[in-house]
Amino acid sequence: MARNDIYAHFHPDEKSFVDRAWEWVERAAELHELRRTDFLDPRQAHILFSLANRHPDAAIRLDGGYAVAERKRALVAPDYRPLEEEDLGIAVLEIASDDRRISELDHGDYLGALLGLGIKRDKIGDLHVSESGCHVLIAEDIGSFLNAHLRQAHRIEVTAAVRPLSELREVPVRLEESTISVASMRLDGIASDVLRVSRAKIMDPIRAGRCRVNWKTVEDPSVSLRAGDVVSFKGFGRFRVIEAEGVSKSGRIRLKIGKYV
């Protein structure tokens, strides 16, 4: 398949990942290699899955360590190779503390502590935050490093221990729901209301490529959102458009929104 035909289906900013993913698929199909990727976000997983399905001699398995994982590792292999029993190399990092203030830490605090040690985001899967600490899905090859070096999260002393997947303590994603009234389904208008910043201020991160809709970079403020869309702004947070609840007499649209907390 011509590379240009592949690019036509994806955003120009995704070209480098498309190149890597297509190489994994080709090497699996033509050189009979097994590739285990790092953690992929849902958009990357979609790209890789769609590329693997374009090649008749390639197979793929995606798994993030539990049934409803958002970030997942992939196995790409020749189509004759069974993948269900292959090891994805995922472990659980348990972060705990005797300090009662640990109940105040959030997703960003734990992720910041991990990235602050020089760990790449690709090595980290989903985080499950509770009042007693955090369980983090990680690539098992960084487990010993984190076990030895992770000692603090947002100025709180913590301990780290690597656990098997069977000990994962799942914490369901929580959404803080609210209803807003907007003039249209434009990205900039909805994001401005949800994130409580001016419409002028929300333009800059969108045009700078710091906004993603369904994990795909969007640089056009006028893009229309739909129910089910997940919108994230680097530095501002993330929300989901849950549903449109109707139109008021003045013609404004009532939207149910869920902010990730």
> The domain spanning residue 69 has which CATH number?
3.30.1370.160
**CA 64/CA 90 separation, integer angstroms:** 8
How does the average pLDDT of the chain come out, rounded? 94
Confidence of residue 2 (pLDDT cuts 50, 70, 90): low
Could you tell me the pLDDT band of residue 4, with boundaries at 50, 70 and 90?
low
Report pLDDT digits (tens) over 116-167.
Answer: 999 999 999 999 999 999 999 999 999 999 999 999 999 999 999 999 999 9
Question: What is the amino acid identity at position 88?
Answer: L
> What percentage of the chain reaches a pLDDT higher than 90?
87
Which residues neighbour 154 within 8 Å (Cβ) at sequence distance 6 or greater? Answer: 105, 109, 112, 113
CB 96 within 8 A of CB 153: no
Question: Average pLDDT in the 37-51 region?
Answer: 95
Please indicate, yes or no, if residue 85 is contained in any of the structural domains: no
Q: Could you list the residue range(s) of the whole structural domain that residue 183 is in?
A: 175-260
Last residue of a domain, one of 167, 196, 227: 167
- Domain assignment present for 209: yes
Shared domain for 11 and 65, answered yes or no, is yes
Q: What residue spans of the chain are helical by DSSP H?
A: 3-7, 15-31, 42-54, 107-115, 143-149, 187-195, 199-207
Same-domain status, 32 and 108: no
63 and 96 share one domain: no
Sign of the Cα pseudo-torsion (142, 144, 147, 148, in order): negative
Is residue 136 located within the same domain as residue 182?
Answer: no
Judge whether 72 lies within some domain: yes
Domain identity same for 256 and 179: yes
Query: Are residues 98 and 158 located together in one domain of the fold?
Result: yes
Please state whether 29 falls in left (phi above 0), alpha (psi between -120 and 50) or beta. alpha
Judge if 65 and 117 occupy the same domain. no
Which CATH number goes with the domain that contains 223?
Answer: 3.10.290.10
Structure tokens at 89: 């190399």
Q: Is residue 243 part of a domain?
A: yes
